[in-house]
Amino acid sequence: MWRSLIWDVPGFPRVGIVFKDITPLLGDPDGLAACVAELVEPFEDQGVELVAAPEARGFVIGGMAADRLDAGFVPLRKPGKLPRPTLGADYELEYGAERLEVHTDAIAAGARVLIVDDVLATGGTAAASAQLVMQGGGELVGFSFIVELAFLDGRRRLGDARIESALVVE
């Protein structure tokens, strides 16, 4: 079962946080394939044209999800990483502040976009990702996460969007 390949790392990146480490999952071909299949299954009949994912861990899962859905992939990058004009969205993490950017032409008007990431925690990264999809003119189909830390209530920041999480930690 792929869920056993997600390990808890207490005290990372700071005391009081239990980091969900997906690198063992990434290193297991069968577990990774099963996880990605589970992430995309709820959206297979939703006409997804693009999968957007924030760096860095989201890239791995998002790229695989895009391939499985026969969709394009849109990288949501940290500032200064994209070579052409960008749109940006600032957000708060449970342990700091960040910004995501996307090329201004990465999302065609009306494109149906699924956002994929490894963890839904406080919802900051996901909300910023959705903001970029909307700024780019896309239609948000929903979110798909490997792990949801339900006790942090990140869902509240995502409005009425469809949210699917493969593993929910209460």
pLDDT band at 133 (very low <50, low <70, confident <90, very high): very high
Domain extent listing, the chain:
45-169
- Give the C-alpha separation, 32 to 2, whole Å: 7
Query: Using an 8 Å Cβ cutoff, are 139 and 112 in contact?
Result: yes
Which strand (E) or helix (H) includes residue 67? helix 57-68
Give 95 or 116, the one with higher predicted confidence.
116
**Quick one: what percent of the chain has pLDDT higher than 90?**
88
Side-chain-side CA neighbours of 30 within 13 Å: the count stands at 2
Q: Which CATH architecture has domain 45-169?
A: 3-Layer(aba) Sandwich (3.40)
Tens digit of pLDDT for each residue in 44-61?
999 999 999 999 889 999
- C-alpha dist (Å) from residue 62 to 68, 96, 117, 135: 10, 24, 7, 20
Identify the pLDDT of residue 17.
84
Nearest C-alpha neighbor of 87 from the set 67, 106, 102: 102
pLDDT band at 94 (very low <50, low <70, confident <90, very high): low
Burial class (CB in 10 A: 0-12, 13-18, 19+), 39: buried
Average pLDDT over residues 83-93: 91
Give 27 or 94, the one with higher predicted confidence.
27
Q: What global pTM score does this model have?
A: 0.94
* Distance between first and last Cα of the chain: 20
Of the residues 49, 57, 68, 77, only one is catalytic, namely 57
Is 57 known to be catalytic?
A: yes
Identify the pLDDT of residue 95.
64
- C-alpha dist (Å) from residue 100 to 1, 60, 89: 33, 17, 5
Q: Going by DSSP bridges, is the β-strand pair 50-54/18-21 parallel, antiparallel, or unpaired?
A: unpaired
pLDDT band at 97 (very low <50, low <70, confident <90, very high): confident
Of the residues 38, 55, 94, 164, only one is catalytic, namely 94
